[in-house]
Structure 1
């Protein structure tokens, strides 16, 4: 099988899942009395209708890329990182702490330091389930779910009691630690697009190289396929599990940095988790855990989230419907066996004729 055929085969499930998700979404609109053509037209207009919408879509996709990469690295090692949400919050918190406490440094020192702090906070938060999984075989799903809630409460406590004196929001970080860009905002009609998109794309390339061109990347996939065989081959399964979770946590933490230093420029009390970490699971699934696929998947999810905001005003369609469409897409991705079986039957029928 040629490389082109392999690429085309890998695209069958995600493309089919998106098409089916949109079709079923249209059916749901019809059932509830909405015009699907008007609804989807409003969604598309809300994505590409103005430079502002394009900037917001790319900005929304930025943390999705990083959190999707986080989930994908864990997937490759046979781990289900449900904790990307908590790791993202810890990365957001770590970057804001450094941004506020070291204000006055040169930007060439302050910004990298704040970004590194976010990565380390996320990595340390993921180290906990990693070490427990590797040494005591504790289920990482249970641990990471609990740590998500813990991260949320720590985040809010630090904001209210350490970074501020009982306030619900920290002061805005200085320019020396900010990812915001006047240039990107000007060309997108003052959207919140920031330089973080370049960081996200850079890390997508780094992870692709790590997984496909290094011995450690091979070990991650080998452990994910079969721990016993990897152990027999001389690989350190425990080390690989821990390092995979640490890398995943660092990437999710970097996703939080994008929010703290880029989108908002502060940290504020959250009534609930933002949901970016959970959306990242869907991004990784749709992208087939491939860094390149995750970039396109993140852009799609960003487009759906931003475009949905235009649907109520223009077409009268509730923007919550987009969450239903996303859920349908995930369902069809999870039903990949059915899609492949149907395609195989279709090909056999075509050949018979």
Structure 2
């Protein structure tokens, strides 16, 4: 029987790495088709309905772009922490705190001029999200806690705080008992682009994506982040302020997720209500890994996974597929793509007999 050994590749694969990635995604879709067969749904028709619902019309593309905006910002924040090998699983909670901060500004100063009020809402959202991200970083430094567990648990605290506010002191008296705040004033709403349904938050994503690419590519701090992520011991030996960088990336990560919460509350819902929490922060973790922490790849992957969400909604309506099917496809894509990374970085060679 032929035996093989695993060795690290010394050469770059080039276009062949794209082929491996596409093969992994195709495998995930094939497994998704198998699941459709298991529940008695025509697999080809189901996959076609998925793609048509996601990208087959102007409405579908616009809806995908709308959902991609908060996913992109949360993913960019998560990727910032991941570059330092800090595992921020708390984007969902930081997103909630950002929405709360923006709502506070919108309800407290509704008559301010629009540029001033929107700037105040962004600032409040970023501060709230950044502080929520800073807490687990400080606990990690001072008490040696695990940031994965702390950020995950803080998600539930943030979501319950949001529900407490919309069920309590911020509840709209005219909402007929439904948990939601009053509608934001016109000055507190991020507008649409022309006659489309896409809000101008997409320009926020473009600017922030370019700024973070410049930050990681051309600045000393960006280089220190990458070096520290590769080896903490070497970073400390070189005099890089690792503890400061841990706090910095968690604050930036939380601020970006908070910015996403501001856009969702202001541009999409125009108020705060529990339905704002749809799992964008968790999807961001999948996007960051699939995109290999690259801002351009994050933009593309955010749009594709947002389209997956829209496509699953069409599957639900047309073929009565459960809503959980979308999460299953996300998980399959993540597992197959991560597994494909093995073949990108390593290869199997036959062991020659003596």
**With structure 1 as the length reference, what TM-score do the two structures score?**
0.88
* 1:172 aligned counterpart, secondary structure: coil
1:227 correspondence with 2:232: yes
CA contact (8 A) 1:285 1:333 kept: no
* Distance in 2, Cα, partners of 1:288 & 1:146: 25
Displacement of 1:77: 0.8
- Residue pairs, 1:251-262, within 5 angstroms: 251-262=256-267
Alignment counterpart, residue 293 of structure 2, candidates 289, 294, 309: 289
* Distance in 2, Cα, partners of 1:219 & 1:12: 32
Displacement of 1:319: 4.5
1:311 correspondence with 2:337: no
CA contact (8 A) 2:78 2:284 kept: yes
**With structure 2 as the length reference, what TM-score do the two structures score?**
0.88
Alignment counterpart, residue 323 of structure 1, candidates 321, 327, 345: 327
* Distance in 2, Cα, partners of 1:33 & 1:164: 44
Q: Which runs of 5+ in 2 are unaligned?
A: 1-11
Displacement of 1:88: 0.5
What are the superposed Cα offsets for residues 117-139 of structure 1, whole Å, 9 maximum, x if unpaired? Answer: 11111001001011122333221
Report what 1:56 is aligned to: 63
* Distance in 2, Cα, partners of 1:74 & 1:197: 22
* 2:88 aligned counterpart, secondary structure: coil
Report what 2:102 is aligned to: 95
Note the aligned Cα RMSD (angstroms): 2.2
CA contact (8 A) 1:97 1:163 kept: no
- Residue pairs, 1:181-196, within 5 angstroms: 181=192, 183-184=193-194, 186-187=195-196, 191=197, 193-196=198-201
1:123 correspondence with 2:130: yes
What are the superposed Cα offsets for residues 166-207 of structure 1, whole Å, 9 maximum, x if unpaired? Answer: 8611011111111132x44x33xxx4x211111112211111
- Residue pairs, 1:193-204, within 5 angstroms: 193-204=198-209
* 1:243 aligned counterpart, secondary structure: helix
- Residue pairs, 1:143-222, within 5 angstroms: 143-164=150-171, 168-181=179-192, 183-184=193-194, 186-187=195-196, 191=197, 193-222=198-227
Q: Greater helix share, 1 or 2?
A: 1
What are the superposed Cα offsets for residues 275-315 of structure 1, whole Å, 9 maximum, x if unpaired? Answer: 11111100111111111111111011001000111123334
In structure 2, the CA distance between the partners of 1:227 and 1:12, relative to structure 1 (3 Å rule), is farther
In structure 2, the CA distance between the partners of 1:312 and 1:334, relative to structure 1 (3 Å rule), is same
CA contact (8 A) 1:89 1:256 kept: yes
1:112 correspondence with 2:119: yes
Q: Which runs of 5+ in 1 are unaligned?
A: none
**Aligned length in residues:** 335
1:298 correspondence with 2:282: no
What are the superposed Cα offsets for residues 207-240 of structure 1, whole Å, 9 maximum, x if unpaired? Answer: 1111111111111111211112111101111101
* Distance in 1, Cα, partners of 2:317 & 2:277: 27
CA contact (8 A) 2:90 2:133 kept: yes
Displacement of 1:162: 2.8
Displacement of 1:64: 0.6
1:332 correspondence with 2:336: yes
* Distance in 2, Cα, partners of 1:31 & 1:341: 35
Displacement of 1:318: 4.0
Report what 2:7 is aligned to: none
